[in-house]
Amino acid sequence: MSHLAGTTAVITGADEGLGYAIADAFAVAGADLVLLAHDGDKLERARHTLAGHGTTVRGLRVDLAHPGAATAAARRVLALTERVDTLVNNAGTAHFSPLAQTSADSFDAMLHLNVRVPFLLAQALLPALIEGRGSIINISSYWAHTASADRPSAAYSATRGAINAMTRALANELGPSGVRVGGIAPGAVPHEVAAAAAFLASPRAGWTTGTIMKLDGADADGALAVR
């Protein structure tokens, strides 16, 4: 398949796990890639392996948890490529703790990486996305719409609910500019999530925007089959 041939995707947290799986799906579909990650060794291994699909793969080592890093990273991206067709905001962090034991620093760290960084990257790359009539894909979590007494998640769930709300609001705001915005709320990190991201970035999803795709393995009764 080459339905993303000729496009360029910027993917955060792309050196391992779900981010790498998404990058792999995009490369298989023909997209050139700019990978953002904070571990230089893992990033280079990912870049080298993904380049084996025959597309151009560039890597930028950046710790998006640092203040100012997102805007600086966007400038570096635009110095590497003249076009950005897709931004995948995958990098994030999670700390699970009861309300009484959740520190302000922990909450702020999650709010920054899970919400503020996607906002700043989308803002900085917006002119390129508008020019290419591209798409933004925000990776959320099923913790935005579920809860477990065994794993308190108030702070983390709040950040994931925020990225979902921002996804819908940006879809409404940017639609007239031709930029589509969607989200994926996975329960685990299956290959189905990577395939869904590649679909949302493709012309086949040309009429899909403002949607949060729930890929949480829910059974017919709504109980989570994947945790």
Domain total in the chain:
1
Provide the whole-model pTM. Answer: 0.93
**Region 97-112 average pLDDT:** 96
Domain that holds residue 23: 8-215
Of 107-111, 118-122, 142-146, 223-227, where does mean pLDDT reach its minimum? Answer: 223-227
Closest CA to 146 of 102, 187, 111: 187
- % residues pLDDT > 70 (the chain): 95
pLDDT, tens only, 163-184: 999 999 999 999 999 999 999 9
Structural domain contains residue 3: no
Give the helix, strand, coil percentages of the chain, each rounded to 5. Answer: 50, 15, 35
- 213 vs 216, more confident: 213
Structural domain contains residue 221: no
Structural domain contains residue 106: yes
Structural domain contains residue 95: yes
Positive or negative, the CA dihedral 164, 168, 173, 175 is positive
Query: Which active-site residues does the annotation give?
Result: 156
> What is the domain-level CATH number for residue 97?
3.40.50.720
- pLDDT in the model for residue 217: 75
